Amino acid sequence: MSSNNGRPILEDVNVIVAGQGGDGSLTVITMLAELLRTNGLNVYTERDVLSRIRGGHAAATMRAFTGDRYCIGSNINLLVALDEEAVEKNARQLDSKSIVVYDDSGGPVPSVLPEGTKVYSAPFNRIAMRTMRRELYKNSIAFGVVGRLLGLEDETLRETFIKHFQRMGQVILEYNLEALGLGFHLADEMGIHKDEGLYKIKKTAPEKRLLITGNESVAFGFMVAGGRFFCGYPITPSSEVLETLQKWLPRCGGVARQTEDELAGINMAIGAALTGARAMVATSGPGFSLMQEGVGHCGSGEIPLVIVDCQRSGPSTGMPTKPEQSDLNLMVFGGHGDFPRIVLTPGHPDDCFYLTAEATNLADKYQCPVFLAMDQALSQNIATVEPFDLDGVSAVPGKRVEAEDIEKLGVYKRYEFTEDNISAFAAPGTPGGLSLVTGNEHNEWGLVSTDPVNRVKMMNKRMGKIEVAKKELPRGRHFGDSGAKIGFIGIGSLFGVILEAMEDLKKEGIKTQYLQPRTIWPVLEDIPAFIDKCSRVYVVELNAQAQLAHILIHQGADPGKIINILRYDGIPYRPAELVKRVLEAESGSKIKKGKKEAKLQ
């Protein structure tokens, strides 16, 4: 960081606010993120909460920075601990240069901090109860202290409060402004005076940037590509897709419906797709399991549908609020029988927008289920992104026929055998366009058939569409030194972690390159080609079975070049952790004869 009048200019800082669920940690981080964004910085936020309304450890983390970053950094600069547990759980992310603001209402700070850590004790809870008669306001008091520490102006903090709380009513706004004032007074008592914070905020005209989650980006990408029908049942971490579309889709003439369960959701979406509407569902692991019969029906009936799977730790209920990538096998191989499917894998909220739009067009064109493989962190973390290029996205129509086309054809066959294996679709009510839809095997007209010759032709027709689709499916994005012998492959929220780990490895004299796959099924030629040109490739995953690596090996990738780096404890990656495992593997301490594996425990 460069210096300005003795204080470093804020260029990269990581802040955690942690306490119990309901303490308002996420509120503080959300307001800080918005405030720093308006000061010209980019931000990335992360949440660590339990699936309950109140209680249990909860933390929210924010990184504010100049330039481009796509994850939380390896070390936390400022920890705001609203209870003892917040210190104990987050001490591992601190170092001797970190600062802790600790609510000592319940006692002194635990002795688990790294040597050299500076501690400010502040009785947030006691002040809130004594002055406001409710502990609810301790986060607003803490906001005043945190703002001062970060070098933010008091009036700017007040303006942020007004913007955030005024929609909740004048009374709530006034109470929170009073609590903010108490925070300023407390900061003075702690020696953190106005204009004397840790950093100097160098105000710049903020670039036109969006502050958005992956789930929100998915919703907007679907709408821009002509999506007009959405069904969902609330399930962490996919619920924000439903919430966003319920707010915005009706303004585009569409429908967003909350159903009674996931079975109803996918079946309603299938019904909508059969009318010609572009349809999508979003869910997570347990809900996705319930949808499997419907997914198979899409494959058999050649029904276009976008299916968003916001993966979380499983199996069963698992850990609903923790990131994982353990549904890959279900997306690629799930369902009974053989049918075509496409699986796309975005890596950042902007990628979510464009790949969802792509998925919507692909589903319509190839008349099959198209999956969007998200994970909890990618779904719910907030990031600044450049405004979406709306001119670069359009609704590309699939093969449709109208009444005049059918009249020329003479006979309309919904499942007609064609050169590209794609049959034209006539919307219900089109004169002469009668079609039958059944879950049974069928002939070109849609009539049930068990004829062996027809069966083989129909199966080859359906599966052949994917061979045609391969020509236009999204290829991976390449980063790093194209001549490096060490490679990375990783998807979802690992995108930013790998990029930053590569920078740190370069400082250690290790050159690397990274392929971020954007299509993992079918496996495209760019992935095995990338593996072939490297001496070894670290496939980094959030699951216990190396699902992505095994999918690649299943499709011909050289297993002798793949080293698995796995994590499945629910804790998000940090770049330094990945660097450590790679350095250990490179030294040979983690590479075992006959089985190359570097597990993150």
Domain 3-189: give its CATH code.
3.40.920.10
Output the pLDDT for position 422.
97
Sequential DSSP letters for 176-199:
HHHHHHHHHHHHHHTT--TT-SSS
d(CA 138, CA 478): 46
- Hey, what CATH class is 477-600 in? alpha beta
Distance of CA 290 to the CA centre of its chain: 22
CA distance 538 to 600: 13
Confidence band for 5, pLDDT divided at 50, 70 and 90: low
Q: Which of 75-84, 287-296, 449-458, 582-591 has the lowest mean pLDDT?
A: 582-591
Does pLDDT of 591 surpass 60?
no
- Give the Cβ contact number of residue 299 at 10 Å: 21
SS3 readout for 368-388:
CEEEEEEEHHHHHCEEEECCC
Closest by CA position to 535, among listed 563, 554, 576, 495: 563
Mean pLDDT, residues 165-194 taken together: 94
- How many angstroms from the chain centroid is the CA of residue 331? 17
Residue 55: its pLDDT value, please?
67
| Mean pLDDT, rounded, for 488-510 | 97
Q: Map tokens 């499997």 to a residue.
A: 292
Assess contact for 245 and 220: CB atoms under 8 A: no
* In the predicted structure, residue 487 carries a pLDDT above the cut 80: yes
pLDDT, residue 592, reads: 44
Q: What is the pLDDT of residue 594?
A: 38
Please report the pLDDT score of residue 206 as a whole number: 65
User: For residues 537 and 548, what is the distance between their CA atoms, to the nearest angstrom?
Assistant: 13
- Residue whose entry in the numeric block shows the structure tokens 């050159």: 511
Query: Encoding tokens for residue 265?
Result: 């959701």
Reply yes or no on whether the pLDDT at 156 is more than 60. Answer: yes
Match 């301490």 to its residue by tokens: 589
Quick one: average pLDDT of 215-238? 97
Residue 196, CA atoms < 13 Å, CB-side half-sphere: 8
Whether 487 contacts 513, CB under 8 Å = yes
Of 447, 448, 397, 449, the residue nearest 425 (C-alpha): 397
Note the pLDDT tens digit of each residue in 107-124.
999 989 999 999 999 999
| Pairwise CA distance, residues 359 & 364, whole Å | 9
Give 47-94 pLDDT, tens digit per residue: 998 766 666 889 999 999 998 999 999 999 999 999 999 999 999 999
Q: Where are the alpha helices (DSSP H) in 238-375?
A: 239-248, 262-274, 285-290, 292-301, 328-333, 349-366
Residues 212-237: what's their mean pLDDT?
97
Q: What is the mean pLDDT of the chain?
A: 93
Distance of CA 6 to the CA centre of its chain: 39
Angstrom CA distances, 348 to 92, 345, 385, stand at 26, 10, 9
User: How much is the pLDDT for 6?
Assistant: 66
* Dihedrals phi, psi of 20, to nearest 5 degrees: -95, 155
Which residues are CB-contacts of 386 (< 8 A; sequence separation ≥ 6)?
A: 207, 208, 209, 210, 350
Q: Give pLDDT, residue 601.
A: 37
Which of these ranges, 425-434, 451-460, 514-523, has the smallest mean pLDDT?
425-434
Taking residues 565-587, what's their average pLDDT?
95
Amino acid at 240: E
Domain 211-392: give its CATH architecture. Answer: 3-Layer(aba) Sandwich (3.40)
Domain boundaries, the chain: 3-189, 211-392, 403-469, 477-600
Write down the pLDDT at residue 50.
Answer: 77
Q: Quick check: 427 and 417 in contact, CB under 8 A?
A: no
What gap in Å lies between CA 274 and CA 258, rounded to an integer? 19
- The pLDDT of residue 590 is 44
Tokens of 47: 């949440």
In the 8-state DSSP scheme, what is residue 43? E
Report the pLDDT averaged over residues 421-439: 90
The pair of structure tokens assigned to 24 is 């308002």
Q: What residue type is 329 in one-letter code?
A: N
- Which pLDDT score is estimated for 9? 85
Residue 416 CB coordination number (10 Å): 14
Quick one: pLDDT at residue 600? 43
Contact 282, 258 (CB under 8 A): no
**pLDDT tens-place string over residues 371-428:** 999 999 999 999 999 999 999 899 999 999 999 999 888 899 999 999 999 999 999 8
Q: What is the mean pLDDT of residues 153-165?
A: 94
| Strand pairing category for 229-232 and 210-213 | unpaired
Report the run of H or E that residue 599 belongs to, with start and end.
strand 595-600
What pLDDT score was predicted for residue 209?
86
State the pLDDT confidence band at 589, using cuts at 50, 70 and 90: very low
Half-sphere exposure of residue 538: CA atoms within 13 angstroms, side-chain side: 29
Q: What is the pLDDT of residue 434?
A: 81
CA-CA distance, 108 to 81, in Å (whole number)?
12
Q: Do domains 211-392 and 477-600 have the same CATH topology?
A: yes
Residue 556 pLDDT > 80, yes or no? Answer: yes
CA distance 380 to 61: 12
Separate counts of helices (H) and strands (E) for the chain: 20, 25
Tens digit of pLDDT for each residue in 240-251? 999 999 999 999
Specify the DSSP class assigned to residue 207.
P
Q: What is residue 40's predicted lDDT score, i.e. its pLDDT?
A: 87
